[in-house]
Structure 1
Amino acid sequence: MKKRLLIFGAMISMGLGFNACSSDDPVDPNDDNPGQTPEVPETPAAPGALNLADYNNGSGIMMQAFYWDVEPRHQWWTTIDEKIAGWADAGVNRIWIPPASKGQSGGYSMGYDPSDYFDLGEYMQHGTLPTRFGTREELGDLINTAHANNIEVIADIVLNHNSGGGLEWNPYREKDTWTLFDEEHGNASGKFNRNYENFYPNSTSQYDDGSLFYEETNLDHNQEYVQNWLWKADYSVANYYKNEVGFDGWRFDYVLGFEPWVVKEWMDAVGGYAVAELWDGNPNVLEDYIEETGIAVFDFATFYKLDEALDRNDDLTILERHMVWQNYPEKAVTFTANHDTEKDPNEHNNISVENKMKAYAFILTHPGYPTIFYLDYENQNFQEDLKQLMLINNSLATGDVEILYVDNDEYVMKRSGDGTNPGLILYINNSSNTKRRNITTGWNNKKIMDYTYQTSYSPVTGDNGGVSIEAPGNSYSVYSIME
């Protein structure tokens, strides 16, 4: 089936016709006339290529600078400190680091079991002075290095489920609960001491947020005391992290565990960049959250559609469906993997290794703010290809989106460019054979090339912009004009 979609932000319309055809048979690289349109013989791709550094579109990329159970323990801040300059050179403008405060698991904690919000590796508690990631001083050095390289540092904030307090009688649950947080019980800093009155249920609230984690120690955000310590007061967690530690923004963990107004009030109080982890593949749910809070969300709708299109259903027409970046490109944080999706390779919440680079080709050429997962970038089979896609994201990936062709195996998308920026054409091939597709580019009488170097096939467009482009089997290409 031949389809053509034109997307202007939220608008999708059917429009002008064109000729597009390809063969399901393997392409002979020596065949100058595949399909219906005569082509120029293949030439080396690199000579005459645009200098992509001249086309900075201001996009930027976020690096998720950790994975689950990072090693070596107590050395993570220094480990990634040494990588900052290289990430900056590759086009990263923000890094997202794990929750920096001391958790119940001490030196083994990934930070998602927060105990003392103000212990960033400087108090001896839960069996360790440093966190799993290092000391407070090493965290400061990391942030300073990032800022020196024009990279913002995003703090992972866990605002509901607490862990690691002492045991006390809880009259509202009529049993002992681990709800006592003070200098002797999991809160050595002495800041933001808590007891059963600060968790649900209590004397002022019976609210149940339906949290799946540590339900007995879910903070009551309706209390003035809790609000002051988290974001309102000068001494709050938010102000300490921003004004003293040096964080530039926030990744709000598990926002299903508290109401959207909490995030909005936090942002009104301290500002900065922010993105929410709302684990829901329904784009309408994600877009409603954007509208309620004003912050970005991780685009789980795109993640799951890539998983379905490339892995589960082997059907690229799924990529025509509703995703958050279509309506909210500035608020859609796209990704192909994170610490949770990659935690258990036997789970179905991940994109397979063999399809990972095609997924990255999608998010790094489409609108949205893309995130690179640390382990993917460190994978030597991926790194050079990822760097090139990141360069393309920050240069040619601009302008309106037009889907030129899509079927089960092929997806061809055009970015229109802007002003002197020529834009690009992405070609994903999910079949095992090299394919060529005849399209209309909008570039008249121009020699074009694949800027990802997956293929050296470099044709010239016709008077009407028509041309045949190529993508290797189980791969992708990203075409644009040459000088």
Structure 2
Amino acid sequence: MKKNKFLAIILLSFSLILGSCSKDDNGETTDPADDVTGTPQLQPGTDEPEAIDLSAYDNGSRVMMQAFYWDVEPRFAWWDNLSEKVPGWADAGVERIWIPSPAKGQSGGYSMGYDPSDYFDFGNFEQHGTVETRFGSREELENLIAVSHDNDVEVIADIVLNHNSGGGLQYNPYRDYETYTLFNEENGNASGMFNRTYEDFYPNSVSEYDPGSLFYAETNLDHHRERVQDWLWKNDNSVAKYYKNVMGFDGWRFDYVKGFEPWVVKEWNEAVGGFSVGENFDGNPDVLRDWIEASGSPAFDFSTFYKLEESLDRYEDLTNLEKDMLWKTHPESAVTFTANHDTEKDSEEDNYIMTSNKMKAYAYILTHPGYPTIFYSDYENENFKEELKTLISIHNSIAAGDTEILYVDQDEYVMKRSGTGTNPGLILYISLNNSTKRRTVSSNWNNVTLMDYSGNSTYKPTSDENGMVQIEAPAKAYAIYSITE
């Protein structure tokens, strides 16, 4: 017994000696003298550093707000709800709001706008069981646009250009049965503008070709027909020109662009201009790049969305962030996001970023190149709002310059933005580890004390004369470092 007790004491002592210089799970030595509780690591005799004024480094970048979620409530009051929120969003750094398809759908007061019936009924015609749309009246929509413009915020309309819904029955000789392809004043088109028949949909006397649609195949508009082009974007009273010149919309989000050819978007934008983005629901960056080249329009960066989901959720492996993404080759055309009305609607395992990882995903898109979109339900979540305001402020100020990955492994990711001119740039450190992590990296700042502008860490390291600095990320969180005064 005594021999075993003595052996245990020796083993315990040996383990304590080894513990005085431990290694993290990636093999980097962690100095036990480092205080990982957040005590500032300042040079002896120096004063407490002060944060720089981020507004002094305005880089001209802003963000877009997706101003809705699926099945918004309250019904008939959404435009008024947004009108109240726009001034605060503008103060936070939002320059555009993307609203749902604003015209009357077949589902009437329950429609989210993606079953378009009358492109010119904004809540001012009695049809499909209601005058107002789910979102409110035309007057309330016009007020929202006016309030937004008063706050220097653009309004982006969701445009559904292929599938229609809510017309009347008529015999369709090209299908040899009755189809719901009659749109007139008595059948789903009370405005009387852009009346349609089976000749305006695939197939018809002009076109056999149908690019395909997952929705309402019998009422998939044929964009090759001159009449359809005239009503959608060419004529002075076309959908595009009416939305821009009469309603005051500033740009377009094109729904389900897989359902029609990219030249349609190109011609629309050439006719009316404005900001545009296409929903090409595909995680393959080559597919997105091909569509951008053909349409001339930016696209939502589903490749980055899925890489974030894989990295943070599905595989818990941050090395996926080294892979190809749209923003890496086309940053000016990549509209990045972490959630939208579709991904949040179903919350499918591989089509959704978990709530616990949302802010790490936002930290990524708000520090990297690309044009970030904030999701309404995330921003209006009181658990996220202040953190998102901080990230937007960082994005609009010091997220500038070239991007370089300084370190990446399964549970750590460190990225540097080099800054431009007097703009200092930043270093993002994301960790999936259960413990506080430290990593020594190369910065652009020599002999400068840094701080975490996200507020997640109070650790304030000082770089050496060569710019080397040890930064810290809290457990399962992130930090964003830059210089101090």
TM-score range, shorter chain: over 0.9
Q: Residue in 1 aligned with 2:442? A: 440
- 1:222 pairs with one of 224, 234, 243: 224
- For the 8 Å contact 1:22–1:437, the answer to whether it is kept is no
- 2:380 pairs with one of 354, 378, 393: 378
Q: Residue in 2 aligned with 1:23? A: 24
Distance change (3 Å), C-alpha of 1:22 and 1:174: farther
What is the alpha-carbon distance in structure 2 between the residues aligned to residue 438 and residue 59 of structure 1?
A: 29
* Cα deviation digits, residues 235-284 of structure 1 (max 9, x gap): 10000000000000000000000001101110111111000000010101
Offset at residue 32 of structure 1 (A): 2.8
Q: Residue in 1 aligned with 2:423? A: 421
One-letter amino acid of the structure 1 residue matched with residue 67 of structure 2: A
Q: Residue in 1 aligned with 2:9? A: none
* Cα deviation digits, residues 90-134 of structure 1 (max 9, x gap): 100000000000000000000000000000010010010010000
- For the 8 Å contact 1:106–1:128, the answer to whether it is kept is yes
Q: Residue in 2 aligned with 1:246? A: 248
Q: Residue in 2 aligned with 1:153? A: 155
What is the alpha-carbon distance in structure 2 between the residues aligned to residue 73 and residue 43 of structure 1?
A: 61
What is the alpha-carbon distance in structure 2 between the residues aligned to residue 264 and residue 271 of structure 1?
A: 10
Corresponding position: 1:195 with 2:169: no
- 1:296 pairs with one of 256, 273, 298: 298
Q: Residue in 1 aligned with 2:3? A: none
Offset at residue 467 of structure 1 (A): 1.0
Pairing of 1:234-273 with structure 2 (within 5 A): 234-273=236-275
* Cα deviation digits, residues 356-383 of structure 1 (max 9, x gap): 1000000000000000000000111111
One-letter amino acid of the structure 1 residue matched with residue 459 of structure 2: Y
Offset at residue 345 of structure 1 (A): 2.1
What is the alpha-carbon distance in structure 2 between the residues aligned to residue 345 and residue 22 of structure 1?
A: 38
Q: Residue in 1 aligned with 2:333? A: 331
- For the 8 Å contact 1:27–1:436, the answer to whether it is kept is no
Corresponding position: 1:70 with 2:72: yes
SS in 2 for 1:403: strand
Distance change (3 Å), C-alpha of 1:462 and 1:230: same
- For the 8 Å contact 1:39–1:468, the answer to whether it is kept is no
What is the alpha-carbon distance in structure 2 between the residues aligned to residue 300 and residue 40 of structure 1?
A: 42
Distance change (3 Å), C-alpha of 1:140 and 1:387: same
Corresponding position: 1:179 with 2:158: no
* Cα deviation digits, residues 426-478 of structure 1 (max 9, x gap): 00001111101011112000010000000000111111111110111110000
- For the 8 Å contact 1:42–1:456, the answer to whether it is kept is no
- 2:361 pairs with one of 350, 359, 379: 359
* Cα deviation digits, residues 397-449 of structure 1 (max 9, x gap): 00000100000000000000000000000000011111010111120000100
- For the 8 Å contact 1:255–1:276, the answer to whether it is kept is yes
- Structure 1 unaligned regions, length at least 5: 1-20
Select the structure with the greater relative contact order (CA < 8 A; seq sep ≥ 6): 1
Corresponding position: 1:462 with 2:464: yes
What is the alpha-carbon distance in structure 2 between the residues aligned to residue 42 and residue 77 of structure 1?
A: 57
- 1:479 pairs with one of 473, 478, 481: 481
Offset at residue 289 of structure 1 (A): 1.0
What is the alpha-carbon distance in structure 2 between the residues aligned to residue 196 and residue 347 of structure 1?
A: 40
* Cα deviation digits, residues 66-113 of structure 1 (max 9, x gap): 000000000000001100011001100000000000000000000000
Offset at residue 344 of structure 1 (A): 1.3
Q: Residue in 1 aligned with 2:105? A: 103
Distance change (3 Å), C-alpha of 1:464 and 1:29: closer
Q: Residue in 2 aligned with 1:232? A: 234
SS in 2 for 1:340: helix
Distance change (3 Å), C-alpha of 1:275 and 1:463: same
Query: What's the TM-score once normalised by structure 2's chain length?
Result: 0.92
SS in 1 for 2:407: strand
SS in 2 for 1:357: helix
Offset at residue 40 of structure 1 (A): 3.5
Pairing of 1:120-139 with structure 2 (within 5 A): 120-139=122-141
What is the alpha-carbon distance in structure 2 between the residues aligned to residue 349 and residue 44 of structure 1?
A: 49
One-letter amino acid of the structure 2 residue matched with residue 23 of structure 1: D
SS in 1 for 2:341: coil
Distance change (3 Å), C-alpha of 1:93 and 1:42: farther
What is the alpha-carbon distance in structure 2 between the residues aligned to residue 326 and residue 97 of structure 1?
A: 28
Offset at residue 30 of structure 1 (A): 8.7
What is the alpha-carbon distance in structure 1 between the residues aligned to residue 144 and residue 23 of structure 2?
A: 50
What is the alpha-carbon distance in structure 1 between the residues aligned to residue 202 and residue 235 of structure 2?
A: 22
Offset at residue 186 of structure 1 (A): 0.2
- For the 8 Å contact 2:292–2:333, the answer to whether it is kept is yes
What is the alpha-carbon distance in structure 2 between the residues aligned to residue 333 and residue 268 of structure 1?
A: 20
Query: What's the TM-score once normalised by structure 1's chain length?
Result: 0.92
* Cα deviation digits, residues 5-57 of structure 1 (max 9, x gap): xxxxxxxxxxxxxxxx97249999994378xxx95489999961000011110
Offset at residue 290 of structure 1 (A): 1.0
Distance change (3 Å), C-alpha of 1:22 and 1:45: farther
SS in 2 for 1:251: strand
One-letter amino acid of the structure 2 residue matched with residue 441 of structure 1: S
SS in 1 for 2:350: coil
- Structure 2 unaligned regions, length at least 5: 1-21
Runs of 4+ in 1 over 6 A off after TM superposition: 25-30, 41-46
- For the 8 Å contact 1:444–1:463, the answer to whether it is kept is yes
* Cα deviation digits, residues 301-358 of structure 1 (max 9, x gap): 0000000000111110100111111111111000000000000124421101111100
One-letter amino acid of the structure 1 residue matched with residue 310 of structure 2: E
SS in 1 for 2:414: strand
What is the alpha-carbon distance in structure 2 between the residues aligned to residue 109 and residue 46 of structure 1?
A: 56
What is the alpha-carbon distance in structure 2 between the residues aligned to residue 63 and residue 404 of structure 1?
A: 30
- For the 8 Å contact 2:439–2:471, the answer to whether it is kept is yes
Question: Percent identity between the aligned chains?
Answer: 65
SS in 2 for 1:83: helix
What is the alpha-carbon distance in structure 1 between the residues aligned to residue 240 and residue 212 of structure 2?
A: 25
- For the 8 Å contact 1:325–1:331, the answer to whether it is kept is yes
Q: Residue in 2 aligned with 1:8? A: none
What is the alpha-carbon distance in structure 1 between the residues aligned to residue 29 and residue 137 of structure 2?
A: 56
Q: Residue in 2 aligned with 1:50? A: 52
- For the 8 Å contact 2:49–2:449, the answer to whether it is kept is no
- 2:402 pairs with one of 383, 400, 403: 400
Q: Residue in 2 aligned with 1:283? A: 285
Corresponding position: 1:313 with 2:315: yes
What is the alpha-carbon distance in structure 1 between the residues aligned to residue 349 and residue 182 of structure 2?
A: 36
CA-based RMSD of the aligned residues comes to: 2.1
